[in-house]
């Protein structure tokens, strides 16, 4: 019944949007004019770019909003709302020249659409850094002059180092050089905001299409969501006031809203959508061979030890377990979903157009040492009067399907120490609950970030420090130094030393880099995606019959 309702919904929207398609011959030759469908695992809830932290909202905003720059393939930086920019020799000043962009949305005619001005960017960043906004990504921009003071409430938003010399020019002044600054500007929170429109919504900004403005390739035309109903969707139409309309290939987008990631995966598997972004290994639900699969290693799975567990509080016992992991034996047991990890930062994280893992070698800080592991275990056994380890298990979420490698680790521990540590698999919801409640001994934990920068991963680690039993002070010091790096070489070395700071504590033991996936049917082309934020980029997407 649900599938029929989605198909009927799609048919109705196709009939409504037929005038936008153009001739079928044009579509066949260029791939343009197609209504793309995708599945979101949940409701976006709010499309306020400066406020939201919702991955489903990021998927919508990636197609309806543009900042000064946007991310290209391999982490390259492309012009977007700005047609060009210059950076001062000392790296502390960024001057952007804007394109002739327009605001568009429901009730606005293309010929009278208001311009996007430099002041709209100034207002957006003041909102982003105001403590009242409670913006989840505000701390990423603390390199901007006076940003820390504004965020702390001790400086006025007007003192922030973002200004508009004129309507077409935006100036950023930084406290110190930031090698990742342009990458940060590709985030959805760095897009403009019209102060006049924002105030006119009276607190409903981004909550429905009528209270939303767009400056990107598409705009939200309809948004239907019922917590208990089916047939939920967001319809995005082509932005008639976009500065480069010929670059937008699809006529429109229909984003189905599922109630869970599992439901979204199943909907795609049953042919109800053209595109799906998922963190689940595709083999778990793809039954057809006609789906194109692109995977990028965007998160890191590692072991964490419950800091309140009496046995695992022993430093020698933890060191024995860490030294007793033979990663060279794990690779043959892994599917394409996972690769062996030695570091904190996964390969999909880029730094100035290159994978960070290419710039800083992924090598073992604590290599496999069976003799040392046995000695550490013997020392621990005498200290804690170890009689049994039956209560110690590795907690694993069922969305991690590669358990053979974990079984290999447990078997090797048994060979070395004479004690077997088992594996307990639970649903993702139970996993999160158990971790929060401290109801575990060891867990296979996912470290991820929505921004996909080195700094954001280290901040994520700092946020988890208390959970892992790690003192965040040293890590926070390293992150502060990282945001003040003068050059790429300094940034790479600081990232490396920050990784080592985490690894030396033994509180997070990286085991695997895990993929996020973009799936699409084989007759589609040129669909981009961000494995960190959950965004799929449709402006260049083409469909061929």
Q: What is the pLDDT of residues 506-540, one digit of tens each?
A: 999 999 999 999 999 889 999 999 999 889 999 99
Residue 24 pLDDT > 80: no
Report pLDDT for 240: 93
Residue 451's alpha-carbon distances to 77, 188, 221, 299, 419, in angstroms, are 14, 10, 27, 12, 41
Is residue 478 pLDDT above 70, yes or no?
Answer: yes
User: Could you tell me the pLDDT band of residue 487, with boundaries at 50, 70 and 90?
Assistant: low
SS3 275: strand
Mean of the per-residue pLDDT values of the chain: 89
pTM (predicted TM-score): 0.87
Distance, CA of 359 to CA of 288 (rounded, Å): 38
pLDDT in tens, 409-440: 999 999 999 998 999 999 999 999 999 999 99
Q: Kindly tell me the burial class for residue 162, based on how many C-beta atoms sit within 10 Å of its own C-beta (0-12, 13-18, 19 or more).
A: buried
Average the pLDDT over 180-187 and give the result: 91
Between 453 and 213, name the one with better pLDDT: 213
pLDDT in tens, 376-398: 999 999 898 777 788 899 999 99
pLDDT of residue 27: 53
**Cα(156)–Cα(517) distance, integer angstroms:** 42
Say how far apart CA 70 and CA 141 lie, in whole Å: 17
All structural domains of the chain, each given as residue ranges with its CATH number in brackets, are 1-65+216-290+522-545 (3.40.190.10), 66-201 (3.90.76.10), 298-516 (3.10.105.10)
For 190, phi and psi rounded to 5 degrees? -95, 20
The pLDDT of residue 197 is 97
The predicted-structure confidence for 272-294, as pLDDT tens digits, reads as follows 899 999 988 888 777 666 788 99
Look at the block and give the residue holding tokens 């039954």. Answer: 287
Percent of the chain with pLDDT over 90: 68
Render pLDDT for 298-355 as a digit per residue (tens, 0 to 9): 999 999 999 999 899 999 999 999 999 999 999 999 999 999 999 999 999 987 778 8
Mean pLDDT in residue range 93-108? 96
What pLDDT, on a 0 to 100 scale, did the predictor assign at position 22? 39
Given this model, what pLDDT does residue 25 score? 34
Percent of the chain with pLDDT over 70: 94
pLDDT tens for each residue of 350-382: 877 788 999 888 887 778 999 999 999 999 998
DSSP 440-485: -SEEEEEE--SS-SHHHHHHHHHHHHHHHT--HHHHHHHHHHHTT-
Q: What's the pLDDT at 178? A: 85
| Greater model confidence, 192 or 288 | 192
Residues 6+ apart with CB under 8 A from 280: 261, 262, 265, 399, 517
Indicate whether 248 pLDDT > 90: yes
Nearest one of 495, 507, 23 to 251, comparing CA atoms: 23
3-state SS class at 97 = strand
In this prediction, residue 288 carries a pLDDT of 60
pLDDT tens digits, one per residue of 196-210: 999 999 999 999 999
Cα 97 to Cα 181: distance, rounded to the nearest angstrom: 17
Asked if the model's pLDDT at residue 7 lies above 50, the reply is no
Model confidence at 1: pLDDT above 60: no
Average pLDDT over residues 87-116: 95
Q: What's the pLDDT at 287? A: 65
Are 107 and 113 in contact, with CB atoms under 8 Å apart?
no
């Amino acid at each position: 019944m649900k599938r029929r309702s989605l198909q009927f919904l799609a048919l109705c929207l196709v009939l409504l949007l037929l005038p936008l398609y153009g001739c079928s011959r044009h579509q066949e030759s260029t791939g343009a004019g197609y209504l793309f469908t995708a599945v979101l695992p949940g409701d976006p809830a709010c499309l306020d770019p400066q406020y939201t932290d919702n991955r489903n909202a990021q998927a919508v905003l990636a197609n309806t909003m543009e900042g000064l720059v946007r991310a290209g393939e391999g982490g390259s930086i492309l012009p977007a709302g700005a047609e060009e920019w210059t950076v001062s020799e000392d790296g502390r000043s960024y001057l952007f020249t804007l394109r002739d962009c327009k605001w568009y949305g429901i009730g606005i005619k293309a010929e009278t659409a208001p311009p996007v001005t430099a002041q709209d960017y100034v207002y957006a960043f003041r909102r982003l850094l105001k403590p009242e906004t409670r913006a989840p990504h505000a701390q990423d921009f603390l390199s901007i002059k006076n940003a820390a003071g504004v965020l702390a409430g001790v400086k006025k938003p007007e003192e922030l180092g973002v200004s508009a010399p004129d309507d077409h020019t935006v100036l950023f002044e930084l406290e110190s050089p930031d090698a990742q600054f342009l990458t940060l500007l590709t985030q959805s929170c760095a897009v403009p905001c019209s102060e006049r429109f924002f105030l006119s919504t009276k607190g409903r900004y981004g909550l429905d299409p009528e209270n939303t403005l767009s400056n990107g390739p598409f705009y939200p035309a309809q948004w239907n969501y019922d917590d208990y109903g089916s047939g939920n969707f967001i319809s995005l139409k082509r932005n008639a006031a976009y500065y480069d309309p010929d670059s937008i290939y699809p006529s429109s987008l229909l984003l189905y809203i599922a109630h869970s990631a599992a439901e979204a995966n199943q909907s795609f598997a049953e042919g109800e959508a053209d595109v799906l972004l998922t963190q689940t290994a595709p083999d778990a639900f793809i039954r057809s061979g006609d789906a194109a699969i692109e995977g990028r290693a965007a998160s890191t799975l590692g072991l964490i030890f419950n800091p309140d567990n009496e046995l695992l509080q022993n430093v020698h016992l933890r060191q024995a377990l860490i030294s007793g992991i033979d990663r060279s034996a794990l690779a043959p047991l892994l599917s394409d979903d996972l690769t062996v990890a030695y570091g904190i930062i996964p390969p999909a994280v880029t730094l100035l157009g290159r994978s960070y893992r290419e710039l800083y070698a992924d090598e073992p800080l604590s290599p496999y040492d069976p003799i040392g592991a046995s000695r550490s275990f013997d020392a621990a056994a005498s200290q804690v009067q170890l009689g049994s380890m039956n209560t110690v298990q590795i907690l694993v979420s069922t969305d991690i399907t590669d358990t053979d490698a974990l079984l290999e680790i447990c078997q090797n521990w048994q060979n070395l120490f004479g004690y077997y540590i088992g594996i307990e698999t639970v649903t993702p919801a139970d996993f999160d609950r158990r971790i929060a409640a401290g109801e575990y001994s060891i867990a296979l934990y996912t470290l991820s970030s929505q921004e996909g920068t080195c700094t954001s991963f280290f901040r994520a680690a700092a946020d988890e420090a208390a959970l892992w039993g790690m003192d965040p002070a040293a890590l926070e010091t390293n992150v502060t130094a990282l945001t003040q790096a003068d050059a790429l070489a300094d940034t790479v070395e600081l990232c490396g030393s920050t990784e080592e700071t985490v690894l030396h504590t033994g509180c997070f033991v990286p085991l695997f880099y895990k993929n996020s996936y973009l799936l699409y049917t084989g007759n589609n082309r040129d669909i981009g995606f961000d494995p960190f934020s959950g965004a799929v980029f449709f402006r260049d997407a083409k469909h061929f019959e």
